[in-house]
């Protein structure tokens, strides 16, 4: 039963992420940066960290969904299916709302109820972070990842993205 749920959810996730990029991100441009080009960013930067993420996971860049991958490295959220569902809970806690997000939460919550405490924890983590779900990370790939993470976790630090 676990394997059937996992296969179904992985199929649904892979299919829906492509549809989401085509339908809901129709007005957004892909970054046009390859995995190798990300690695050319300065060590410790968001861009370089993203390149390392792609290399370590064996992932390809999904056009128009690059921000989502930054969410993973920024929040240190894994990439297993329960982590992808948890990411949606985290983003909801951070103030993001979309039909895709709600669909993933509902379907994922029904199919994987054993992870409900994990989902609740990541929702609260999203609430505790400064708002980041709206940031266009392409413009700040040269920023140091750890500095942005520290700022996100600190309610006393103002995030200034104008540098």
List Cβ<8 Å contacts ≥24 apart for 8-15.
8/111, 9/81, 9/85, 9/107, 9/108, 9/111, 9/112, 10/81, 12/107, 13/81, 13/84, 13/104
Residue 158 has pLDDT above 90, yes or no: no
pLDDT tens figures, 65-116: 899 999 999 999 999 999 999 999 999 999 999 888 999 999 999 999 999 9
Task: Please tell me the predicted confidence (pLDDT) of residue 160.
Answer: 60
Note whether residue 25 is domain-resident. no
Q: Which domain holds residue 53?
A: 2-16+33-153
Residue 17, exposed/middle/buried by CB under 10 A (0-12, 13-18, 19+)?
middle
Note whether residue 162 is domain-resident. no
Count: domains in the chain: 1
| The model's pTM | 0.85
Residue 14 has pLDDT above 80, yes or no: no
């Amino acid at each position: 039963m676990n394997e059937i749920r996992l296969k179904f959810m992985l199929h649904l996730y892979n299919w829906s992420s492509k549809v989401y990029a085509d339908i809901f991100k129709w007005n957004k441009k892909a970054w046009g940066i390859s995995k190798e080009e990300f690695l050319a960013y300065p060590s410790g930067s968001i861009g370089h960290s993203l390149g390392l993420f792609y290399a370590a996971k064996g992932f390809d860049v999904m056009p128009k969904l690059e921000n989502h991958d930054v969410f993973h490295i920024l929040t240190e959220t894994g990439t297993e299916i329960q982590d992808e569902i948890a990411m949606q809970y985290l983003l909801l806690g951070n103030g993001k709302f979309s039909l895709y997000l709600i669909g993933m939460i509902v379907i994922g919550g029904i199919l994987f109820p054993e992870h409900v405490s994990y989902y609740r924890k990541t929702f609260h983590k999203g609430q505790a972070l400064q708002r980041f779900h709206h940031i266009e990370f392409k413009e700040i790939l040269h920023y140091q990842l750890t500095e942005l993470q520290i700022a996100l976790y600190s309610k006393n630090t103002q995030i200034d993205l104008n540098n």
